[in-house]
């Protein structure tokens, strides 16, 4: 058992590449973590951003700390972040970009602007 969260992150494609390089330097198993969620690579409608989504992930362990440390290196308007925990009032968000909206509904939804 344990405590699980739903997490969504929207990054610029270039920042996603930086994330993979950062993981390699830190010897962090990013690929294993990505496989636990959904990776939506840039599409024809959205060539500049990568959307990451995890449902039911143990976030408050090394994953959350690692991703959080990386996001702190980015300009605040370069990414979106939303984590919804199991407890009703346990959520955190960073709404910084003007490209999409991550909405807090006790579920995670992506809506282009």
Query: 53-73 pLDDT, tens per residue?
Result: 888 888 877 788 889 999 999
Mapped onto helix, strand or coil, the DSSP state of residue 35 is: helix
- Which pair of tokens denotes residue 94? 């960073």
Q: Judging by DSSP bridges, how do beta strands 100-102 and 91-95 pair with one another?
A: unpaired
Q: What's the pLDDT tens digit per position in 34-56?
A: 888 777 765 545 678 888 888 88
- Put simply, whether the predicted model's pTM sits higher than 0.75 gets the answer yes
State which residues form the domain around 92. Answer: 5-112
> In the chain, how many domains are there?
1
Question: What's the sign of the alpha-carbon dihedral 38, 111, 72, 59?
Answer: negative
């Amino acid at each position: 058992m344990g405590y699980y969260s739903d997490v969504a992150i929207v990054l610029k494609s270039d920042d996603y590449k930086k994330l993979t390089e950062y993981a390699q330097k830190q010897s962090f198993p990013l690929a294993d973590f990505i496989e636990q969620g959904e990776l939506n690579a840039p599409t024809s409608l959205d060539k500049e951003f990568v959307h990451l989504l995890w449902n039911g992930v143990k976030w408050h362990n090394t994953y959350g700390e690692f991703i959080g440390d990386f996001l702190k290196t980015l300009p605040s308007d370069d990414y979106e972040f939303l984590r919804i925990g199991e407890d009703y009032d346990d959520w955190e968000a960073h709404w910084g970009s003007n490209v999409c909206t991550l909405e807090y509904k006790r579920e995670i939804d992506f809506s282009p602007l």
